[in-house]
């Protein structure tokens, strides 16, 4: 078995991109594998994958998505449209001097990876999706869908979409909020069955953190790890990250020409059995024969929550490297 290379081998750099500046971290040499994080994370969420992919013979690159970390944070919600995030990925691959890449994403990164593959099949030769399955563009306007969810409660996406509202909750105690948010969706710390669902907010002045579990950090998250995440968001604020949610209706308009379109390239899906993204989007997984006709494998990991590549790094690394080795050319 390959032993992962030490973290000292990580190379930080910035490139010029439509965002202005993109920060990335790379390790290894070989075919390019681009790793795209979700909310509320950074390149650091791939810290366990970078050395494993490098050891397996790949050039592994994890970026800070625009609005996060050391990447630029354009002003205005429209700067966080999916088309712009895809353009960042295209610019990154070209700036690295590569002709093609495999793109792998988690959470919002899975949506960004999928749309990158959909719009640029000539550049992104395969796509791996962690936690969030592919659902083709189309259907009702997203804001209308989220507004109908929850009944007398408010769905967290609707809560995040209102400018300034989530910032007022998070920014007075970024570290504490992140700890609670990560714990709420981790297998070993998530609320018990029957407890109030942390994906929803009480409509009368409620906050997401009112439903976060108290106490210990999830096993995958050390105090030092939490310091890294918190330090970035304390420096940048939360608006750039939250603007992804606020651009969803614009995405719906922009991507209307691709309504129902499948992704033809080889693909991989890995989800957590205890993750709401897997259970709520079960119909999207069932539709994979139509929406992902190039699907190589789909795995749902028992006893795993949302932060899949951090909760179960060894399994995810094995699945990723095995899948990558199976890809043509």
Positions annotated as catalytic residues are: 107, 306
Identify which of 24, 11, 9 has the alpha carbon closest to the alpha carbon of residue 95: 24
Q: Which residue has the tokens 């209307």?
A: 256
Q: Quick one: the chain helix, strand, coil %, rounded to 5?
A: 45, 15, 40
Instruction: Say how far apart CA 33 and CA 26 lie, in whole Å.
Output: 10
Which of 215, 219, 206 is closest to 176 using CA atoms? 215
**Two structure tokens written together for 114:** 């999928």
Tell me how far apart the alpha carbons of residues 266 and 300 are, in angstroms, rounded to a whole number: 18
Sheet holding 32-36, edge to edge: 11-17, 20-27, 59-63, 32-36, 101-106, 124-130, 267-272, 295-301
Compute CA 198 distance to the chain's CA centroid, rounded to the nearest angstrom: 19
């Amino acid at each position: 078995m390959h032993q992962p290379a030490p973290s000292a081998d990580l190379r930080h750099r910035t490139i010029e991109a439509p965002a202005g500046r993109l920060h990335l971290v790379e390790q290894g040499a070989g075919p390019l594998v681009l790793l795209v994080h979700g909310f509320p994370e950074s390149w650091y969420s791939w810290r366990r994958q970078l050395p494993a992919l490098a050891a397996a013979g790949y050039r592994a690159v994890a970026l800070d998505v625009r609005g996060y970390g050391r990447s630029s944070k354009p002003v205005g919600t429209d700067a966080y449209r999916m088309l712009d995030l895809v353009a960042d990925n295209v610019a990154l691959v070209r700036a690295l001097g590569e002709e093609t890449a495999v793109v792998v994403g988690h959470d919002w990164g899975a949506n960004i990876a999928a749309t990158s593959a959909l719009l640029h099949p000539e550049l992104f030769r395969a796509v791996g999706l962690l936690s969030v399955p592919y659902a083709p563009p189309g259907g009702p306007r997203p804001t209308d869908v989220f507004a109908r969810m929850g009944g007398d409660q408010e769905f967290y996406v609707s809560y995040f979409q209102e400018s300034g509202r989530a910032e007022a909750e998070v920014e007075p105690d970024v570290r504490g909020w992140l700890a609670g948010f990560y714990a709420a969706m981790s297998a070993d710390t998530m609320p018990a069955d029957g407890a109030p669902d942390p994906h929803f907010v009480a409509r009368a002045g409620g906050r997401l953190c009112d439903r976060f579990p108290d106490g210990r950090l999830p096993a995958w998250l050390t105090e030092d790890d939490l310091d890294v995440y918190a330090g970035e968001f304390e420096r940048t604020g939360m608006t750039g990250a939250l603007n992804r949610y606020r651009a969803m209706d614009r995405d719906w308009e922009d991507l209307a020409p691709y309504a129902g379109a499948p992704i033809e390239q080889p693909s991989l899906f890995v989800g957590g059995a205890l993750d709401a993204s897997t259970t709520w989007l079960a119909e999207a997984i069932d539709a994979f024969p139509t929406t992902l006709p190039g699907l190589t494998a789909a795995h749902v990991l028992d006893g795993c929550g949302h932060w899949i590549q951090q909760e179960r790094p060894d399994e995810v690394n094995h699945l990723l490297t095995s899948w990558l080795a199976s890809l043509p050319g």
